[in-house]
A and B are shown apart, each in its own frame.
Chain A
Amino acid sequence: MNSDKITKAVLFSVSILILLLAAGMLYSLVGGSLPAFKTFGLRFIISGEWDPTYGREKYGALPFIVGTLITSFAALLISLPLSFSTSLFLGEYFRGTRVARILGILVDLLAGIPSIVYGLWGFYVLRPLLIDLGFGGQGFGIFTASLILAIMIIPYATSLSNEIIGMVPNDLKEAAYSLGATRLEVITTVTIPAARSGIVAGYILSFGRALGETMAVTMLIGNTNLVPDSLFDTGNTMASVIANQFGEADGLKLSSLIAIGLLLFLMTGVINAIGKLIIKKMN
């Protein structure tokens, strides 16, 4: 009996550890970013200036917040038709077939490719292709980064919506078929409405993934510290500016980078919480 109590206590304290870990992360990020917020106040979030010149240092996160949101939204839009078609392929049209199994494995492998390998491929294959197609300049920028990000987030949206689409009850679909509906009509009037919130949650979670992707974006976005004025402009995301500038950072600059990390942590946390909440509501 006594040993059972010990076992239970061990299990309990280990899960407390996870909570402490999360609390500690938040605490350290807040602590590390205090100097930046104390110096710049709210201007840190709304200012577009990033000037590391010693003596008149000014740091504002706006260019990176805007850069992150634009690249992630663009990536989401680009990936939408691809991942939606793929989840229909896997969960509806070819469900349970050998072809679907192989395709499913390949889509999963997309999630296994390291970010830096995506970056190399984007740099040496995709970027020259974009230049040849006349997308201007060196091929760096928000658009190129979004394109590679779109590929990277496909598996996250696909795996969830494919699962949800596969869970739509067959008798609902059969009822529609017996009324003479075509496959497309079954999909648009039965499958999609029944699976809607799951599909949306999948896209929200994949958007959350896009927000924090670092290496591939760093290698393709052009790394400029101004608020981008078009999709083909160069820029920086919150993750890429940390990766780029961390090596030479100390003092106020380091604190500003940690503050950007804190904002990123909060943004992805909120996005993920919304996604999970939708999934929870469904069950």
Chain B
Amino acid sequence: MESIDILKSQDHSSGRLLKDKLVLGAVIVLSLITISPIILIIWKLVVEGYRQISLDFLIENTPDTFEAMTAVANGELIPGGIANGIVGTLLMVILASALAIPIGILTGIYLYENQGSFMANITRDISDILQGVPSIVLGLISYLWIVKHITMGFSALAGSVSLAIMMLPMIVRSTEETLKMIPESLKEAALALGVPYHKVILRVLIPTGFSGLITGILLGISRILGETAPLMLTALGSSMINLDMTKPTSAIPLLIWEFYNDPNMVGLIWSSSLLLMAMILVLNLVSKQIVAKRR
């Protein structure tokens, strides 16, 4: 009788252990499934896209659909490149950064300096909510503001504004988080020496938190680099390199969308995506490296 009881309890316990192992196995398998898309996607981009990548691809404008059709019919690589998209992306990202970074950093400093105040709390909440606004809605906003009232037509400026609104809350957040990690004593030491407040910001807070700020900025840029939807409503696209902020301008993601919709050009989608993905990967890895060094 007694031995049966012991057997039973052992049975029970081995069942528990088995269950434990099974769940661990399931967690490992499901985690591997979770990361498989990133590997499969990058693999697909490299395999399908590498042949098209060359110097021409970087420095020439997009071919017209007829050139592309002829090349495909003859079994050749599609001529031309995506220089108009590369230049447009750089132009709009640089302008968006120029708008978002100063405002974002100053707001982040304000939030850090006024912890717990009513205004700071409201600003932080609004900024968090802005971060969740879908990018296509930001495109609509910039269309209503810039396309309709300022540039009177689709423009690089409108594209930049939608990207800047997207980037702004990320910069605010990362600035505040970075500053919170700086020891309070550094700032107090400077203030005790009678250093004016703006110099404390420029000479103490920003330099000490520099790597953190840069990380936030790089991640912000990597997020807006691949945005397509807001640019469809604002920058529209262009088959030529354009440096005029008030004119329609192309961008790499916009070109991918155009290629995808044009059966003759569809051969260019993978190489363009590969280039875009490479830019994003580099920004991500550089910012990871900075974070790792800081620790």
Interface residues of A, Cβ cutoff 8 Å to B: 3-4, 6-8, 10-12, 14-15, 17-19, 21-22, 24-25, 28-29, 31-32, 81-83, 85-86, 88-89, 93, 103, 105-110, 112-121, 123-125, 151, 154, 158, 182-185, 187, 205, 208-209, 211-215, 219, 239, 242-243, 246-247, 257-258, 261, 264-265, 268-269, 271-273, 276
Residue of A nearest to B130 (CB): A22
B30 x A212 contact (CB < 8 A): no
Residues of chain A within 8 A (CB-CB) of B140 are: 29, 32, 242, 257-258, 261
Residues of chain A within 8 A (CB-CB) of B26 are: 85
Residues of chain B within 8 A (CB-CB) of A272 are: 128-129, 131-132
Q: Which of B27, B222, B281 contacts A89 (CB 8 A)?
A: B27
B222 x A265 contact (CB < 8 A): no
A11 x B44 contact (CB < 8 A): no
Enumerate the 9 nearest inter-chain pairs by beta-carbon distance, A residue then B residue, closest first.
Answer: A212-B134, A114-B226, A85-B30, A272-B132, A214-B229, A11-B110, A182-B20, A4-B197, A89-B31
* Chain B: minimal CB distance from A34 (Å): 12
Residues of chain A within 8 A (CB-CB) of B34 are: 82-83, 85-86, 107, 110, 154, 158
Complex Cα gap A28–B148 (Å): 12
Complex Cα gap A132–B27 (Å): 28
Interface size on B, residues (CB 8 A): 78
A82 x B197 contact (CB < 8 A): no
Complex Cα gap A273–B256 (Å): 34
* Chain B: minimal CB distance from A23 (Å): 9
B130 x A268 contact (CB < 8 A): no
Complex Cα gap A243–B253 (Å): 14
- When A85-B27, A215-B229 are in contact, do A183 and B20 touch as well, CB less than 8 Å? yes
Could you give, for residues 22-57 of chain B, a 1 whenever the CB lies within 8 Å of some chain A CB and a 0 otherwise?
A: 011011101101110111110011000000000000
Chain B's interface: helix, strand, loop or mixed, by majority? helix
A184 x B19 contact (CB < 8 A): yes
A18 x B107 contact (CB < 8 A): yes
* Chain B: minimal CB distance from A175 (Å): 18
Give the contact stretch, choosing among B73-81, B90-98, B207-215, B269-277.
Answer: B269-277
Interface residues of B in 119-135 (CB under 8 A from A): 119-120, 122-123, 125-135
Residues of chain A within 8 A (CB-CB) of B226 are: 112-117
- When A117-B276, A120-B260, A243-B136 are in contact, do A15 and B41 touch as well, CB less than 8 Å? no
B19 x A214 contact (CB < 8 A): no
Complex Cα gap A58–B27 (Å): 50
- Chain B CB within 10 Å — which of A3, A15, A187, A246 has the most? A15
- When A3-B196, A18-B168 are in contact, do A28 and B145 touch as well, CB less than 8 Å? yes
Residue of A nearest to B33 (CB): A82
A183 x B106 contact (CB < 8 A): no
* Chain B: minimal CB distance from A117 (Å): 5
- When A3-B198, A19-B126, A88-B27 are in contact, do A114 and B280 touch as well, CB less than 8 Å? yes
Residues of chain B within 8 A (CB-CB) of A243 are: 136, 229, 232
B37 x A110 contact (CB < 8 A): yes
Complex Cα gap A32–B33 (Å): 44
Residue of B nearest to A214 (CB): B229
Q: Is B72 an interface residue (CB 8 A)?
A: no
Residues of chain B within 8 A (CB-CB) of A14 are: 103, 106-107, 110
* Chain A: minimal CB distance from B131 (Å): 8
Q: Is B201 an interface residue (CB 8 A)?
A: yes
A93 x B27 contact (CB < 8 A): yes
B284 x A258 contact (CB < 8 A): no
A116 x B256 contact (CB < 8 A): yes
Q: Is B225 an interface residue (CB 8 A)?
A: yes
Residues of chain B within 8 A (CB-CB) of A7 are: 196-198, 201
Q: Is B16 an interface residue (CB 8 A)?
A: yes
* Chain B: minimal CB distance from A1 (Å): 9
- A-B contacts, 15 of them at CB < 8 A, read A15-B119, A17-B103, A29-B140, A89-B27, A93-B24, A109-B281, A113-B226, A115-B226, A115-B229, A116-B228, A120-B269, A212-B133, A257-B140, A264-B134, A272-B128
Interface residues of B in 62-79 (CB under 8 A from A): none
Residues of chain A within 8 A (CB-CB) of B109 are: 11
A85 x B31 contact (CB < 8 A): yes
A21 x B130 contact (CB < 8 A): yes
Residues of chain B within 8 A (CB-CB) of A261 are: 136-137, 140
- When A103-B31, A113-B38, A242-B136 are in contact, do A120 and B168 touch as well, CB less than 8 Å? no
Residue of B nearest to A272 (CB): B132
- When A3-B198, A109-B284, A114-B227 are in contact, do A19 and B141 touch as well, CB less than 8 Å? no
Q: Is B17 an interface residue (CB 8 A)?
A: yes
Q: Is B59 an interface residue (CB 8 A)?
A: no
Complex Cα gap A215–B231 (Å): 11
Complex Cα gap A103–B225 (Å): 24
Residues of chain B within 8 A (CB-CB) of A32 are: 140, 144
Complex Cα gap A219–B26 (Å): 32
A211 x B134 contact (CB < 8 A): yes
